[in-house]
Structure 1
Amino acid sequence: MGGRKVGIIYNDTKPSALRAVKDLSELLAEQGCQVVTTPGWNGILGFSHRQGPICYTPIAQVTPREFDEQMEFAIVLGGDGTVLTAARQLAPVGIPQLNINTGHMGFLTETYLGKARTAVEQVLRGEFLEEVRSMLEVRVLRQEQVIWEALVLNEAVVHKEPFTGMCHFEIVIGRHSLVDIAADGLIVATPTGSTAYALSAGGPVITPEVQVFQVIPICPHSLGARGLVYSDQEALVLYPPSNHEYVILSTDGSSGCYIHPTDRVHIARSRYQTRLIRLNPPEFFEMLREKLGWGMPHIAKPESVELP
C-alpha cells in the first residue's frame, strides 16, 4: 500500500480513545495515509512472578511489527501511562509521537481530544517541532547474563516487598566510590521523570534538555541522605540488600521483576530517545504552572476579610 504511513497507539479501556481511533483513521485515510493501529498494552511488559521463571521481551523487540522506519509519525491516544508505554515501543525505530490526552493529568501530552483533528491536520502539513527526551536502559544481571531489561522514559524504582521497612542499597556511579544508602527504596529518574515519582519523593524538577539523571532515596533513614543529580554519561550500578530474599524493580509503573541478593541492576542512558511532536515551541515552566501549580503568584487575603 502506498502513501504516507501513520500509526495510532491507543488506550483500549477508554471509550473516548476508541471513538477517536475511528475518527482519526478516517481523517488520515481521506488524506491518502496508510494507517496502522495497536493498543497501548503492547508496551506493558508486566511483572515477573517471584516463584516463576523470569520472562521478558528485549528492548528492540517491543515495537509492533508494522511500526517501522517508514512510519512518518504515531498518534498516541490516552493519558501519561499510555504515553510511557508508547515511548517504549516507538523509540527503538525513531518514530515521533503526537500525544493526545484522553486522561487526567496529561503532563506528557500535547493537546486534548477536542482538538485532535486540528492537531493531526497541522502535523500532516509539516507545521510542528520536535522535542527529544533522554531515556534509560535498565538491565538486571545475574552473574554476567541479562535476565530482564526495559527501556524507560520516567524512572526505575527498586524497593522492598512489602513496601515498608528499611534496606541497605549499595550503588556505584561511573568511576566513583561505592555508596551505601539506607532507605525504603531508590528512584533513578530522567529529567522527564523528575516531575513524576521523583518529585513526590522530594527530588528536584529538572528541565528536559539538561543532560543529567537523578537518584532519590525513598524515606531515607538518615538526616544526611539526600537526592543526587549526576551526569547522564555515567552508568549507575545498584546492588540489592543482601539481608532480604527479594526486592522489586519497577520501571515506569508498568513493568518489573524480582531481584535476588546476588543480582545487580545496571542503569544507563539509552542510545534511543523519545521524539515528542510539539505543535508550538515547548514552554516547560508554563506546563509546570498549569499542571502542578509551580510559580503561581501569592495572593494576599483582602483587607475586608475579618479573621477570627
Structure 2
Amino acid sequence: MSSRFRHAALVGKYQARGIQGPLEEIAQFLVRQGLDVSLERDTALNTGITDYNALTHAEMGRECDIAIVVGGDGTMLGSARQLAQFGLPLVGINQGRLGFITDVPIGHFADALAPMIAGDYEEERRTMLEGGVWRDERLIFDGFGVNDVVVSRGPTSSMIELKVTIGDEFVGNFRADGLIVASPTGSTAYALSAGGPILHPGIAAWVMAPIAPHDLSNRPIVLPDVGRISIEVAQGRDASVNFDMQGMASLLPGDRITVARSSHQVRFLHPLGWSYYATLRRKLHWNTGV
C-alpha cells in the first residue's frame, strides 16, 4: 500500500492511428478519479489534444508523481530512458502486440488503474545500461538503454571482429554480425532472438550474446552486472551501435564502446497480483495445449 497519486503524466504513441480517442478517454478517467493530468509535450503536439498542460520530460519529472504510458514496449522504453533519472513510476497500457512491459490491456485500463492510483499496486525496479563510444580517447556518443546495447555490422558489409574486455581482463575476439549486451529486461528482446537465455529481472546480471557468430563455440554468456564491458571494433566497415535502437552509425576500426550499469533504475508499477512468470507464460505461449 502506498499513498494516493495526485498528478499523472500521460504519454502516448502519437504515431499510432486512432490514438487520440483512447488518450482522451484515459485522461478523462484520471480526472474523474481526482488527479491532475498533463500530457507529454510531443504527445500533445502530435495528437492535437489541448485540454491539458503539455510538459517536457524534465517538467514531468518535477511536477508529476506517476506516468501512464499508452502504446507498446517501444513507447515504454523511450519514456523509461527519459524519466528514470527522476524516479517517476511508470504504468504501461498496451496498445501494441507483444507487451512484456506494457502489461495493462487498453480495453481494461479503468479496472486496472482505479486501484493503482489509489495506492494498490505491485512495484518493481529494473536496472539500466549506460555507456558511450570512444574514439582516440574522446567520448563522441553516449546513451542509456533499458533493454540492450547492440554493436552490429553495416547493411552491406561482411562480418565484424570485436575485441571484448571486461574490467581489466581480455575476454576474446568475436567474429560475428554483431554483439548484444542485454539487461534482464532486454533478455526477452533481441538477445532472445540471438539464442540468449531469459534472465529474471531480480538477477543482477547481463547477457552478452553474439549475433550469427562465425565460430559456433561463441555462445551467449551471463555476466555479473558490475564493472565495465569494453567492445573495440578490431575490423569491419560501417558498423553501428545502438542503445535501445537509438544509435550511432559509422563506427571506425579502433572505436571502443563501453557499457556499465547505470546509477538510475526504472520503476514499473503493475496491478496487484501481477506475476513475471505469468507474463512469460502468456507472451511466449508456454501454456499452449494445456
Which interval holds the TM-score relative to the shorter structure? Answer: 0.7 to 0.9
Structure 1 partner of 2:118: 125
SS in 1 for 2:169: coil
- Counterpart selection for 1:144 from 108, 115, 137: 137
Unaligned runs of 5+ in 2: 45-55
Q: CA deviation at 1:164?
A: 5.6
Matches within 5 A, 1:25-64: 25-38=27-40, 64=57
The match for 2:12 among 6, 10, 13 is 10
Cα distance in 1 between the residues matched to 2:43 and 2:18: 17
Which of 259, 272, 280 lines up with 2:272 in the alignment?
280
| Alignment partners' CA distance in 2, 1:223 and 1:267 | 24
Contact between 1:139 and 1:150, CA under 8 Å: does it hold in 2? yes
Q: Per the alignment, in what secondary structure is the counterpart of residue 282 of structure 1? A: coil
How far residue 110 of structure 1 moved from its aligned partner, in angstroms, is: 2.0
What is the letter of the counterpart of residue 24 of structure 1? I
1:173 aligns with 2:166: yes
Find 1:199's aligned residue among 187, 192, 195.
192
Choose which of 24, 39, 42 in structure 2 pairs with 1:22.
Answer: 24
Listed as ranges, the matches of 1:148-227 within 5 Å are 148-162=141-155, 165-227=158-220
Q: For the residues of structure 1 that align with 2:210 and 2:230, how far apart are their CA atoms?
A: 15
Change over 3 Å in CA distance of 1:16–1:115 after alignment to 2: farther
Task: Find the aligned partners of 1:143 and 1:134 in 2 and give their Cα distance.
Answer: 30
Whole-angstrom distance in 1 between the partners of 2:205 and 2:96 = 29
Number of the residue aligned with 1:58: none
Range that drifts further, 112-121 or 206-215: 112-121
Which whole-Å deviations, capped at 9, do the CAs of 1:152-197 have from their partners, x for residues lacking one? 0111111111166222110101232241111111011001111111
TM-score, structure 1 normalization: 0.83
Query: Which segment is superposed worse, 4-13 or 141-150?
Result: 141-150
| TM-score of the pair, normalised by structure 2 | 0.88
Equivalent pair of 2:174/2:213 in contact (CA under 8 Å): yes
Q: Shift of the alpha carbon at 1:108?
A: 1.2
Q: 1:163 to 1:84 in 2, by over 3 A?
A: farther
Q: Distance in 1 between matches of 2:245 and 2:161?
A: 23
Quickly say closer, same or farther: Cα 1:31–1:281, change in 2 above 3 A: closer
Q: How many residues align?
A: 275
Match for residue 269 of structure 1 among 253, 261, 264: 261
* Deviation of 1:239 (Å): 0.2
Deviations 1:83-123 (A, max 9, x none): 11111111111111000000111111121111112222222
Partner amino acid, structure 2, of 1:13:
Q
Larger radius of gyration: 1
Listed as ranges, the matches of 1:102-117 within 5 Å are 102-117=95-110
Deviation at 1:231, TM superposition (A): 0.5
Q: Indicate how the Cα distance of structure 1 residues 85 and 286 shifts in structure 2: closer, same or farther if over 3 A, else same.
A: same
AA at the equivalent of 2:229:
L
Q: Note if contact 2:132-2:141 (Cα within 8 Å) is conserved in structure 1.
A: yes
Provide the rounded CA distance (Å) in 2 between the counterparts of 1:231 and 1:30. 46
| Residues in 2 aligned to 1:149 and 1:8: alpha-carbon distance in whole angstroms | 27
**Larger strand proportion, structure 1 or 2?**
2
| Partner SS for 2:24 | helix
Cα RMSD between the aligned structures?
2.2
Comparing 227-236 and 276-285, the one that deviates more: 276-285
The AA in structure 2 aligned to 1:180 is N
> What is the deviation of 1:246?
3.0
C-alpha separation between the residues in 2 aligned to 1:15 and 1:117? 21
Residue in 2 that maps onto 1:237: 230
Structure 1 pair 245–166 and aligned structure 2 pair: CA distance change class (3 A): closer
Between the aligned residues of both structures, percent identity stands at 34
- Structure 1 stretch displaced more, 65-74 or 6-15: 65-74
Aligned residues of 1:163 and 1:184 also touching (Cα < 8 A)? no
Distance 1:232 1:132 in 2: 15
- Tell me which residue corresponds to 2:52: none
Deviation larger for 16-25 or 206-215: 16-25
| 1:41–1:85 contact (8 Å) kept in structure 2 | no
User: Which segments of 5 or more consecutive residues in structure 1 lack a partner in the other structure?
Assistant: 43-62, 300-308
